[in-house]
Structure 1
């Protein structure tokens, strides 16, 4: 378990390094903005430097400042384990942004938008894949999905819409278009590396029904449906556990299944929409 957590910490720090490379080597020099709180930090750094003549607060420092209240919210509303890794990601990203120089790899703004989006999307994707987040909008999305059971895509779209609009206001109108391109590329790369859908349905076929159900309910606060199942080849009686979860909970679910019943068969599919009661209050 220690080695597993050590590897997880390494992946989170490595993802932060990749994000910092995307920002300092591609986005910042080209005035192209990332998504979420990272993009907001870029906007604040640009505004404070050009209009307020405040140059000592960099993008990394603004990112840390923006994540302080969100980190506190995640600590009390989401869970300490998830939030601790998210805080680690933010701190590491801030440190790398301060340590790495801001370089101009290319003067072509489109190349900066595309390559920055690819590299940044990979950094975010591997961080999410290992059960952490890059902080900011991800933690807000986690809180909203657990409290209101409403689609969080609209909230994230509003944040990114503000970033795209202000990118054109603070710079040239074409910067808004290239920022939109960068956000699209980032999202597509995250789709490839990690399941990005807001909600997914997991169908778990297992012989350890009660043990697996108890383990899942201790960690994931969702209801589930248990159906009888029978192996077509072995003719063994089994059960199918059907549960709808958010993408943030997919890592925890996979870890629980591997610990309780490594021989279980799990099929995870995208959920286009749900009706009825989704959230289960924990006791």
Structure 2
């Protein structure tokens, strides 16, 4: 039974890695590349080299990413590197198959917007299911542990260099379109990874915690966790509640708290992912 579950999980993972890589290939070869608009990272370098040498883009994507995968194998983890290798292989094959198609549009703005969206969805799916389509992220993760720079800062440095190179090769108008495509893809990647159904974690400090907890469970159908707290100034015990709700339920939660205790102290934070518990339970109206 355990082996069967692992096998199903692996098939499920491969399916989404494949889907993500194919979508990324479509975003590149059907929209961006025919209009001389580049992506960031290794894919961007590959597009420039393919344009200058007339060699297949897929060959450059695979070849340029391979050293980074070897470099990161012992540093990051076997599972991540294998998933990344698989996704990059699918991407390389995908762009090679799609290359004879000469794009769906010659309008650079349309190509930028739709290419960025499709590429972002593809990259987001691959990241969400444990892989990557860009070897520079591996280097960034490794170097961020040894330097004062964050992963985002290192990746941004790479991409500034690549987009500057694109300006020299394709012209500065295409470099600016590339920057727009990169920004769109970046935002869509976040949406794909985190999902559109945003969740919020709420901490409530109130002397009426029992009453608030009962109403929240009854009217929202959400599990509530009691935490122990103590006032820093008064040193007195405080009732603290922790609850996770969807973005659409947040307004109702605020009104419930306001009805019961106007003096309650409430903090609200974004939640990227929720697993287990009663969170998937339908709200009670």
TM-score by structure 2 length? 0.66
Q: Which residue of 2 aligns with 1:59?
A: 57
Indicate if the aligned counterparts of 1:113 and 1:181 stay in contact, CA closer than 8 A. Answer: yes
Q: Which residue of 2 aligns with 1:98?
A: 96
Find 2:31's aligned residue among 7, 26, 48: 26
Find 1:3's aligned residue among 8, 15, 29: 8
Q: Which residue of 2 aligns with 1:140?
A: 139
Q: Distance in 2 between matches of 1:181 and 1:146?
A: 30
Q: CA deviation at 1:171?
A: 1.7
Find 2:52's aligned residue among 42, 47, 50: 47
Q: Distance in 1 between matches of 2:225 and 2:127?
A: 36
Greater displacement, 14-23 / 103-112: 103-112
Asked if residue 263 in structure 1 is aligned to residue 277 in structure 2, the reply is yes
TM-score by structure 1 length? 0.67
Question: Unpaired runs of 5+ in structure 1?
Answer: 50-56, 197-202, 206-229, 240-252, 266-283
Does the residue aligned with 1:133 lie in a helix, a strand or coil?
coil
RMSD over aligned CA atoms reads 2.9
Q: Which residue of 2 aligns with 1:169?
A: 168
Q: Distance in 1 between matches of 2:156 and 2:93?
A: 28
Please list every run of at least 4 consecutive aligned residues from structure 1 whose deviation after the TM superposition is greater than 2 angstroms.
Answer: 144-150, 230-239, 262-265
Q: How does 1:71-220 map to 2 (within 5 A)?
A: 71-100=69-98, 101-148=100-147, 150-195=149-194
Q: CA deviation at 1:104?
A: 2.3
Pick closer, same or farther for the CA change 1:92–1:169 going to 2, 3 Å: same
Does the residue aligned with 1:194 lie in a helix, a strand or coil?
helix
Q: CA deviation at 1:148?
A: 4.0
Q: Distance in 1 between matches of 2:160 and 2:225?
A: 53
Question: Unpaired runs of 5+ in structure 2?
Answer: 1-5, 196-200, 204-208, 215-223, 229-271, 280-285
Q: CA deviation at 1:80?
A: 0.4
